[in-house]
Amino acid sequence: MKKIIVAVLLMFASAAWAGDLRDGLAAYDNKNYPVALAKFRLAATQGDENAQLMLGVMFEKGEGVAQDYVEAVRWYRLAAAQGRAAAQVNLGNMFDEGKGVAQDYVESVRWYRLAAAQGDSSAQFNLGVMFSKGRGVAQDYVEAVRWYRLAAAQGYAVAQFNLGVKFSNGQGVAQDFTRAHMWYNLAAVKGNKDAVKNRDKTADRMTPQQIARAQQLARECTARNFKNCD
């Protein structure tokens, strides 16, 4: 199951419904779902894409309402149509998993692309998965690596882990255990337990000099905030 994106930025305090949205977010954070639902509805019916996104999240997760994927999709569509990247990602997830809609990988990829074009790291990662598995697109490891790199450059730990896998297996890139170790190490620092296991297994196939080089590359990559790391 892919991650549900719930991030909301309040950059429009002058909007007439901003108070309802703000109150809804505060209630949501305090798990006061009935109040959150009511406030989000007020803002959403006036066209606020962030409130529409949050209603989609609440219906998808069954927070304060009966879980209803169809209703979640309806709200996600409204927010996504206004260009809200998080809603586009979540809508892509619904098509990917066949929740509230017929499963449709092509449609899923379409929504992920729209969000990825806005720089959304979750969408970039999801596109990497789709290209790696050949879902909705022709399987293409090189393209998968390209999308993983974009997400990894934003610090997305699972994308960093998946890059480690690609370098370990030589999929879309030349097999390179030093680079694989580097990416596993970066993901491990962020708490990815699978990355710890894979890093240590990869180290068993490396010389001490290669391990030292990989560790140096990881430090340099971190210092560059994950940019231009390979």
pLDDT at 31: 96
pLDDT at 15: 57
Domain-terminating residue out of 76, 100, 126: 126
Express each pLDDT in 21-34 by its tens digit. Answer: 999 999 999 999 99
Task: Please check whether residue 65 lies inside any domain of the structure.
Answer: yes
pTM: 0.91
- Together in a domain, 38 and 147: no
Contact 24, 18 (CB under 8 A): no
pLDDT at 4: 64
- Together in a domain, 78 and 44: yes
Task: Please check whether residue 151 lies inside any domain of the structure.
Answer: yes
Task: Please check whether residue 131 lies inside any domain of the structure.
Answer: no
Q: Write out residues in the chain with pLDDT < 50, as ranges.
A: 9-14
pLDDT at 10: 47
142: left (phi over 0), alpha (psi -120 to 50) or beta: alpha
Task: Please check whether residue 206 lies inside any domain of the structure.
Answer: yes
- Together in a domain, 44 and 2: yes
- Together in a domain, 19 and 102: yes
**Domain residues for 39?**
1-126
